[in-house]
Chain A
Amino acid sequence: MSNVLLDARRIGKSFGGVQALRDVSLTIRRGEIYGLIGPNGAGKTTFFNVLTGLYSADAGEVMFDEARLNIGAPHEVTRQGIARTFQNIRLFANMSALENVMVGRHLRSRTGVIGAVLRNKATRIEEADIADRAHRLLQYVNVDARANDLARHLSYGDQRRLEIARALATEPKLLALDEPAAGMNATETAALRELVESIRDDGVTVLLIEHDVKLVMGLCNRVAVLDYGEKIAEDVPELVQRDPKVVEAYLGGALA
């Protein structure tokens, strides 16, 4: 089995006249936490949306888990093993926390209309399994105390973690987190950091887009930096931090 989980090759995407991504290539290895950072508008979220099938790429291809990733439709990408969260949380607001995670099992279960109506043995077993796994995932992200509350009534930090649990329910090989620490206080960020590390330790590779440079540098095994739609650096955090191009992108040319 190859060490490389995801290999994005020369991804390009433009909106009208704006080139949001230009020839972006990056490689994510199995079992690492990979950070994607960059100033506002650098194209991080665009890259994310291309990768997860919400946008179609104009150029390039993605190899995932030794096969060409079919990035035509989001549910196909999820089936192939990439799950994501959103920058501005997108939970099913009027479903309970538990139901949110249960929806994440949709892909890995098969009950159809007839099974649902007859509720035969296979269906009952599957439903019990879905509920059981959902409960365990809620425990994993420490939201189990609020399993029966509506998602919209959870605290901000709980909502973020619930979204991660829902993504994990799809059994991803790669978990892509879009600014998970945005708007979190120091305590919540620390808890998130622990959670992301334990997810990695449980064998799920993590792709992290983050604004919080300190968090990324402390947490990630490797980091790529995007600026104006181009990758300007990719390495371990210590080296990326000292890269003159990165310093220039973040602090402006005058200081470099």
Chain B
Amino acid sequence: MNPATCGRRDPRVAFAGTLLLAVALALAPFAVGAGAGIAWVRVIDFALLYIMLALGLNIVVGFAGLLDLGYIAFYAVGAYLYALLSSPHLAGAFPSLAPGLHWPVWAVLPLGALVAGGFGVILGAPTLRLRGDYLAIVTLGFGEIIRIFLNNLNRPVNLTNGPQGITQIDPIDIGGVSLGSTLEVFGIAVPSVYLYYYLFLAATLLVIFVSIRLEDSRIGRAWVAIREDEIAAKACGINTRNVKLLAFAMGASFGGVAGGLFAGFQQFVSPESFTLLESIMVLCMVVLGGMGHIPGVIFGGVLLTLLPEALRYGAGPVQTALFGKVLIPPESLRMLLFGLALILVMLYRPAGLWPSAIRRREFAGAGRSVEGDRE
């Protein structure tokens, strides 16, 4: 029996579930803030940014099957675009622009998506004939090129301020309400981190919505067809060049939006935030969660943002309680356990922690019994 068809739920149960989830998401920052401290709300904000990135990369890697190791470059493009257009920085290089550009967020974010999408096409166009490991190497190089440009474009004209990064970025401002400071709503003080949480949540929901709609469409089917068999896809009349470029552009535009939000949230960007390790991290979220399966990718994004933070705060005290002193510094332990977790998942759940029903069967069919649900 196909699990997708027998899992139909009662609409009333589904409605109640959605309502419950909405209330839980709305109250989450207050609950977490009161229970675990405001630092954890910040962690959740980052988890939402990473979910957006992972969903963007999922279009390229999960749907279209194009391995991209330089994805964080699009995040960087979005972040730097916001930084340049909403800070005093450009006034330094071009005095005529004093006191810098301060574009509104509703103009900068869509522009960020567009420009990042353009960069996606720039990356995609020369790599159309490449697949697998060759494509991975070129995209890896692309990611590094962007980072190195950001690092060095402070001369001859100071565009990016080099390794020091751009500071004094405007906080995101929505309809005159700045998210950068505490807001008083009906006598309740809502700190800035909570306000960003709601904005990021809205953006994430939009990204999820777009992902789901694209997956279940003519475009999504064409992406998956290319992943499955490019020659057969061509023979079916799919213009693989355009469809692949579209995948790169769509994936990149998600990254560009997330980057813009990141810059407004941090009010500071520097090339250090966009290293290869970040690209790998996002790729891990996609692969560990379940490539091509939207809920799995979201789960991967949450897990890989929260776990390292939990280790950061928890590893020290736990060791002290067990051994009386800290044997391994939490920072080293974090990477150690992270690597171990990756190996274990790839050994025992090669389709990811939460794969789609189809993909689970695909791996089960490949000689590994994951679930006994063969029809």
> Are the C-beta atoms of A78 and B236 separated by less than 8 Å?
yes
> Are the C-beta atoms of B234 and A103 separated by less than 8 Å?
no
Q: With the chains together, A108 CA to B218 CA distance in Å? A: 11
List residues of chain B with CB within 8 A of the CB of A153. 361, 365, 375
Per-residue 0/1 for B192-234: is the Cβ within 8 Å of any A Cβ (1 yes, 0 no)? 0000000000000000011001100111111011001101111
Q: With the chains together, A184 CA to B239 CA distance in Å? A: 32
Question: Which of B2, B219, B240, B359 is A148 in contact with, Cβ under 8 Å?
Answer: B2
Of the candidate stretches A21-29, A90-98, A218-226, the one touching chain B is: A90-98
Question: Which of B213, B225, B231, B375 is A95 in contact with, Cβ under 8 Å?
Answer: B225
Question: Which of A104, A106, A152 is B365 in contact with, Cβ under 8 Å?
Answer: A152
List residues of chain A with CB within 8 A of the CB of B220. 116
List residues of chain B with CB within 8 A of the CB of A96. 358
> Are the C-beta atoms of A116 and B217 separated by less than 8 Å?
yes
Q: Does B250 contact A (CB under 8 A)?
A: yes
Q: How far is the CB of B114 from chain A (nearest CB, A)?
A: 13
> Are the C-beta atoms of A84 and B235 separated by less than 8 Å?
yes
> Are the C-beta atoms of B362 and A106 separated by less than 8 Å?
no
Give the size range of A's interface with the partner.
35 or more
Per-residue 0/1 for A63-83: is the Cβ within 8 Å of any B Cβ (1 yes, 0 no)? 000000000011100110001
Q: With the chains together, A119 CA to B2 CA distance in Å? A: 26
Q: Chain A residue with minimal CB distance to B232?
A: A90
> Are the C-beta atoms of B218 and A109 separated by less than 8 Å?
yes
Question: Which of A93, A104, A108, A119 is B213 in contact with, Cβ under 8 Å?
Answer: A119
List residues of chain A with CB within 8 A of the CB of B250. 113
List residues of chain B with CB within 8 A of the CB of A150. 358, 361-362, 365
Q: Does B7 contact A (CB under 8 A)?
A: no
> Are the C-beta atoms of B361 and A111 separated by less than 8 Å?
no
A77-132 contacts to B, CB under 8 A, are 78-79, 83-84, 86, 90-96, 99, 102-109, 111-113, 115-119, 123, 126-127, 130
> Are the C-beta atoms of B224 and A95 separated by less than 8 Å?
yes
List residues of chain A with CB within 8 A of the CB of B222. 103, 106
A/B pair count, beta carbons within 8 Å: 122
Q: How far is the CB of A241 from chain B (nearest CB, A)?
A: 32
Q: How far is the CB of B244 from chain A (nearest CB, A)?
A: 12
Q: Chain A residue with minimal CB distance to B228?
A: A92
Q: Does A197 contact B (CB under 8 A)?
A: no
> Are the C-beta atoms of A148 and B361 separated by less than 8 Å?
no
Query: With A92-B229, A94-B359, A153-B365 known to touch, is A112 a contact of B219 (CB < 8 Å)?
Result: yes
Q: With the chains together, A96 CA to B234 CA distance in Å? A: 19
Question: Which of A54, A106, A148, A149 is B236 in contact with, Cβ under 8 Å?
Answer: A106
> Are the C-beta atoms of A116 and B236 separated by less than 8 Å?
no
Q: Count chain B CB atoms within 10 A of each CB in A78, A94, A113 and give the residue with the most.
A: A94
Per-residue 0/1 for B359-375: is the Cβ within 8 Å of any A Cβ (1 yes, 0 no)? 10110010000000001
List residues of chain B with CB within 8 A of the CB of A113. 214, 219, 246, 250
Q: Does A205 contact B (CB under 8 A)?
A: no
Question: How many residues of chain B get a CB closer than 8 Å to chain A's CBs?
Answer: 34
> Are the C-beta atoms of A99 and B221 separated by less than 8 Å?
yes
Q: How far is the CB of A256 from chain B (nearest CB, A)?
A: 38
Q: Does B332 contact A (CB under 8 A)?
A: no
> Are the C-beta atoms of B365 and A92 separated by less than 8 Å?
no
Per-residue 0/1 for A125-160: is the Cβ within 8 Å of any B Cβ (1 yes, 0 no)? 011001000000000000000001110110000000
> Are the C-beta atoms of B234 and A75 separated by less than 8 Å?
yes
Q: With the chains together, A7 CA to B240 CA distance in Å? A: 28
Q: With the chains together, A85 CA to B222 CA distance in Å? A: 18
List residues of chain B with CB within 8 A of the CB of A173. none
> Are the C-beta atoms of B217 and A111 separated by less than 8 Å?
yes
Q: Chain B residue with minimal CB distance to A117?
A: B213
> Are the C-beta atoms of A104 and B224 separated by less than 8 Å?
no
Question: Which of B210, B236, B365 is A170 in contact with, Cβ under 8 Å?
Answer: B236
> Are the C-beta atoms of B229 and A130 separated by less than 8 Å?
no
Query: With A94-B359, A116-B213, A153-B365 known to touch, is A107 a contact of B221 (CB < 8 Å)?
Result: no
> Are the C-beta atoms of B236 and A107 separated by less than 8 Å?
yes
Binding site for B on A (CB under 8 A): 52-54, 73-75, 78-79, 83-84, 86, 90-96, 99, 102-109, 111-113, 115-119, 123, 126-127, 130, 148-150, 152-153, 166-167, 169-170
- What would 27 A/B residue contacts be, using CB atoms closer than 8 Å? A54-B234, A75-B238, A75-B239, A78-B234, A83-B235, A86-B235, A90-B232, A90-B235, A92-B232, A99-B221, A103-B225, A103-B236, A104-B237, A106-B221, A106-B237, A107-B238, A112-B219, A113-B214, A116-B217, A126-B218, A127-B218, A148-B2, A148-B5, A150-B361, A153-B375, A166-B236, A167-B235
What are the 10 closest A-B residue pairs judged by CB atoms, nearest first? A107-B237, A116-B217, A78-B237, A92-B228, A90-B232, A74-B234, A111-B218, A103-B225, A117-B213, A94-B362
